[in-house]
Amino acid sequence: MTATVLAGWLGVIEQAASRYGLDFASLLQRSGIDPELLQQGTARVPQRKISDLMQLAMVMSNDRGFALTVARQVRPPSWYSLGYAIWASDTLLQGCQRLQHCAALFADAFHVQLIEHDGELQVVLRQAPLLRDPLLMLDWEVFAATIVLTIRHLHPAKPQPLRVVLPGPEPEMTAPFKRLFGEALAWQGEEVVLTFSASLMKEWLPGRNPELARQHDELSQRYLQAMNHRSFSRQVYEQLLSRDSLREVEAAQVAEALHMNLRTFQRRLQDEECCFRELLDQARHALCCRYLNNEQLSMGEISYLLGFANVSNLYRAFRRWRQEAPGEYRQRRRHDSLACLQTGGRSAQALIPVTFR
C-alpha cells in the first residue's frame, strides 16, 4: 500500500517550520513535493514524502521534538470536514469514534481502534497492513500528539492521558514529550496507545453541535467515497503486493480476487488511464526493493518470486527502474541501514515512483 496524507497538512508543517525560520520552499523541493499542493488542501500527498519532509525539517531545526511543534499547529480545517465534525462532537468518545471511522480522510497509513476496559478507554494507532514504506517515529509522534492536544482543546478540564506508549527508542531529550503527553510515558511499543478515563471521555462537551457534526460527517463520507472511486488502480496494486509471488499472475486472477469480471476490471483501469501491465511492473519494482533488503534471498529466488524468466531479466528491469544493478542497491541499503542505526534515524531511500490517478 502506498499511503497518502491530505495536502492540507503541508500548511501545518509550513507553520511549524516558520517557527524555526526554515526555508519551506527549499524543504519542499528537497522532499520532492510540488509547492502547488499548498493551495490544494483536498489533494493527496504520498505519506513517504510527508515523512521525509518532517525528517528533513527536524534535522534542519535541530529539534528532536519537531513533530510536537507540528501537532501544535493543527486546527479543524487541517483535517478538512473531519476536523469540524470532531470539534462539534457531543463527547470526546464520539469524536474518537469519528476519527476511527474516517481517519483515512487525512492519513490512510494507520488504523484507529478504541478499546474500553476497567473504566479506561484506549485509543490505539496501528500501522495499516501492506504499507510499503513503514512509518517513522516522527509520524507516530505527530499523530499521537495531535489527538492528545485535540482532546485537551475540546474538554474544559484539559485532561492528560493516564498513560501513553509510543513506538521507537526513547529519545535522549524526553522533557518536551513528557510536557505534552504527561509523566506516564513509555517508548518501545509496536503501536501508539493513548489511555484515558472512560467516564471523562463520555462527558458532554461545551462546544457540541449535532447538526454541524452531521453535515460535516456527510461531507467526509462524500470525500472518502470519491477517494475510493478514484483509486481503483491502488486497489489493484495493493492486491498484487499482497501476493506471495507474482509468478504467472494474470489480470483475470486479480479481477476475481476483487470480485468482478475481467471486462469490468479492465474498464475500471481504463477509466483511470491505467493498465494492468503498468501496475504489475510497479508492484515488481516495489517488491524487488523489499526482497533485496532481505539478505537471505538470492538473486535467483527474487527473480523467481517476481515472475521473471531468468536473473538476466531481473537485472535489466532493475536497471530500468533505478539505473543501478540490484547488487549495488543491496550493498547501498546495507550501508544506509548501518548509518541509520548509528544515528538513530531512518536512512535516506530513493522513492519508488508509483502514481495513481
Q: Exposed (0-12), middle (13-18) or buried (19+): which is 200, by Cβ within 10 Å?
A: middle
Which residue, among 232, 257, 250, 205, has the nearest Cα to 88 in the 3D structure? 205
Q: Is 196 helix (H, G, I), strand (E, B) or coil?
A: strand
Q: Which of 29-43, 258-272, 296-310 has the highest mean pLDDT?
A: 296-310
Is the pLDDT reported for residue 241 higher than 50?
Answer: yes
Strands 185-189 and 163-167: parallel
- Please state whether beta strands 120-127 and 192-197 pair in parallel, antiparallel, or not at all (unpaired): antiparallel
3-state class (DSSP) for residue 163: strand
User: Regarding predicted confidence, which is higher, 309 or 352?
Assistant: 309
What secondary structure does DSSP assign to 130-151, as a single string? T-SSPPPHHHHHHHHHHHHHHH
Band (336; pLDDT cuts 50, 70, 90): low
Better-predicted residue by pLDDT, 258 or 211: 211
DSSP-assigned letter for residue 164: E
- Note whether 206 and 221 are within 8 A (CB): no
C-alpha cell at 158: 484539559
Q: Report the distance separating Cα 332 and Cα 27, nearest Å.
A: 24
- Equal CATH topology for 4-226 and 233-343: no
Conformational region of residue 3, where left means phi above 0, alpha means psi within -120 to 50, and beta covers everything else: beta
Asked if residue 204 has pLDDT above 80, the reply is yes
All structural domains of the chain with their residue ranges: 4-226, 233-343
Neighbours of 303 (CB within 10 A): 23
The CATH class given to the 233-343 domain equals: mainly alpha
Give the ranges where the chain is alpha helix by DSSP (H). Answer: 8-18, 24-30, 47-61, 66-72, 81-87, 92-102, 137-154, 175-181, 198-201, 210-230, 232-241, 251-257, 262-271, 276-292, 299-306, 311-322, 326-343
Closest-CA residue to 290 (of 178, 135, 132, 165): 132
| pLDDT mean across residues, the chain | 88
pLDDT in tens, 163-200: 999 998 899 999 999 999 999 999 987 899 999 999 99
Q: How many residues comprise the chain?
A: 357
**To which H or E segment does residue 121 belong?**
strand 120-127
Q: Which residues contact 202 (CB under 8 A, 6 or more apart)?
A: 91, 92, 93
For residue 302, pLDDT over 50 is answered with: yes
CB 136, CB 51: distance < 8 Å = yes
Q: For residues 309 and 74, what is the distance between their CA atoms, to the nearest angstrom? A: 51
pLDDT band at 351 (very low <50, low <70, confident <90, very high): very low
88 burial via Cβ count (<10 Å: 0-12, 13-18, 19+):
buried
* CATH for 4-226 (3.90.1520, 2.60.40, 3.30.160, 1.10.3470): 3.90.1520
Question: What percent of the chain clears pLDDT 70, i.e. is strictly above it?
Answer: 91
Give the count of beta carbons closer than 10 Å to the beta carbon of residue 262: 15
Q: How confident is the model at residue 135 (pLDDT cuts 50, 70, 90)?
A: confident
184-188, 207-211, 243-247, 324-328 — which is least confidently predicted? 243-247
pLDDT digit string, tens, across residues 7-45: 999 999 999 999 999 999 999 999 989 888 888 888 888
